[in-house]
Amino acid sequence: MTRIHWFGVGVVAGVILGWPLAVVFGLAGLISLFFKSKSRLIWSLLLVGSLLGQSRLWQYHQSLSAQNIAPELNKALAVVIAPQDNRDGYGYLTLRLQRPFTGQLRVTITPYEHYLPGDLLTISGASQTPAIIDDGAKSFDYPTYLARFGITKVVKRPQLVKTGTVQRRWLALRWLTGFRQFLERHINLMLPEPEAGFLAGLLLGSRRALSEGTLANLTQTGTIHIIAVSGANVVIVAGICLQLCRLVTGHRWWSFWLTWGVIGGFVVLTGVSAAAVRGGLVASLTLIASHTARGNQKLPLIILPAALTLLANPYFKYDIGWQFSFAAFTGIVLAAPVIQQLLQRWPRCPPLIAQPLVETTSANIFLTPVLIWQLNALSFSSFLINPLVLWLVPLATMAGAGGLLAGFVLPNTLVRLIVWLPLHLILQIIAFGARLPWYVDWSS
């Protein structure tokens, strides 16, 4: 590992584990001073990285505490800063208050109201501090969930009035939000449910179109992570774009820069979630590695995206999509070589079967602890269902992305069949696994 890698490890550990870790690194660094060893530099990098990570976490806490939001808002000026989220029969908006107030709000509205990023509004209503939701069986840390987005207050059913003005700084996100909604409508016209909602979750990271039954099946089979836009999904989309750009332009570097732009747009289309940001970084680093003859160096693809995303927002560590993406990719990088060596004892195993089996098993080993911690449950069927469906996910992703483009040119029936088939097969396998009595839930 290089110096930047050790520094990145320190940043990740500092954000996740906190101040006690800096004491450990500091003591280890002092002890290493008495020995002639290269470990002194490593411990110093770990210490500096952990201090930077903890300082960023403290700074983020301070920014949340410094927000100034009145208990009663009376025609306060605010701007929409994120796409509207419609689910569970409600609409949710993220607003940033303008002067004299500072801070961000989560606003609950009806799903029939429609707003876009950049809309300037006046808001009237009572702001409240979000509370932990506890239904007796499970608890949900709602304040921490909102803090990831810089939100400290919620307002239910306020009076919102558009001023007719749009802030220019949000025009790009406004256009991309409209384009994402267009893609979702096109997916709904092209495919029936539940395949349409599943493809929207796979490509765009959208969960609001998924039925409760589909979400329950994904949870019970330990496959909920496949609708988190991971680094693997973004790499697939980037690979499609790179090949198309090379075919059209015939120029290597033009293809490189165009693909990089598509990666950024794809991350924004998915809602700039933690997993999507990390996936974009992984795809970008993979793209750079492929152009610098360092494609076999996978360790930076784990450390650097994790460190950069946590520095950008330390509360990403609480994001379940970020955890799924990080755990799955780490498993593929670290555990796959070991499992590959074990499979070499059975030379009759065809590569077409061996490679998906190695990658899915590796990802599942690292995903299982995260699933247990987040869901308070263990799915034994995940060790059977994940290897069966994960090799189909890249196929479904490529078919879905290609189908969205080809649907405007080719006959709709042909495109629907090509896109529908892998999605339907994945959902049928997951539904079969959900019927197996191999799910243990001790939260209830």
What burial letters (b/e) apply to 378-412, b meaning 16+ CB within 10 Å? bbbbbebbbbbbbbbbbebbbbbbebbebbeeeee
> If you average pLDDT over residues 343-371, what whole number do you get?
70
Supply the DSSP symbol for 102: B
Look at residue 352 in the predicted model and tell me its pLDDT: 55
| Global pTM exceeds 0.75 | yes
Using the 3D structure, point to which of 36, 65, 94 is the last residue of a domain. Answer: 65
Kindly report, residue by residue over 198-255, the tens digit of the pLDDT: 888 877 777 666 777 888 888 788 777 777 665 555 665 566 566 666 666 666 667 7
The pLDDT of residue 361 is above 80 = no
Q: Verify that 242 and 294 share a domain, yes or no.
A: yes
Q: Verify that 192 and 143 share a domain, yes or no.
A: no
Look at residue 154 in the predicted model and tell me its pLDDT: 92
Q: Verify that 317 and 199 share a domain, yes or no.
A: yes
Q: Verify that 57 and 77 share a domain, yes or no.
A: no
Look at residue 409 in the predicted model and tell me its pLDDT: 60
Q: Verify that 266 and 331 share a domain, yes or no.
A: yes
- Distance CA(19)–CA(303), nearest Å, equals 20
Q: Verify that 284 and 421 share a domain, yes or no.
A: yes
> If you average pLDDT over residues 28-41, what whole number do you get?
66
Contacts of 438 (CB under 8 A, 6+ apart): 379, 380, 381
Look at residue 149 in the predicted model and tell me its pLDDT: 87
- Distance CA(377)–CA(375), nearest Å, equals 5
Kindly report, residue by residue over 412-425, the tens digit of the pLDDT: 677 788 888 999 99
Q: Verify that 329 and 400 share a domain, yes or no.
A: yes
CATH number at residue 147: 2.40.50
Contacts of 18 (CB under 8 A, 6+ apart): 54, 57
> If you average pLDDT over residues 305-333, what whole number do you get?
81
> What is the CA angle 130-136-139, rounded to 5?
40
Look at residue 382 in the predicted model and tell me its pLDDT: 78
Look at residue 215 in the predicted model and tell me its pLDDT: 81
Using the 3D structure, point to which of 136, 166, 196 is the last residue of a domain. Answer: 166
Look at residue 240 in the predicted model and tell me its pLDDT: 59
Residue 428's pLDDT band (cuts 50, 70, 90)? very high
> If you average pLDDT over residues 362-375, what whole number do you get?
78
Q: Verify that 287 and 198 share a domain, yes or no.
A: yes
Look at residue 356 in the predicted model and tell me its pLDDT: 63
The pLDDT of residue 260 is above 70 = yes
The pLDDT of residue 174 is above 70 = yes
Task: Identify the three-state secondary structure at position 380.
Answer: coil
Residue 274's pLDDT band (cuts 50, 70, 90)? low
Q: Tell me what the pLDDT averaged over the chain comes to.
A: 78
Q: Provide the domain count of the chain.
A: 3
Look at residue 427 in the predicted model and tell me its pLDDT: 92
Look at residue 79 in the predicted model and tell me its pLDDT: 92
Q: Where is mean pLDDT largest: 90-94, 201-205, 296-300?
A: 90-94
Q: Establish if 81 belongs to a structural domain.
A: yes
Percentage of the chain exceeding pLDDT 90: 8
Query: Domain of 28?
Result: 3-65
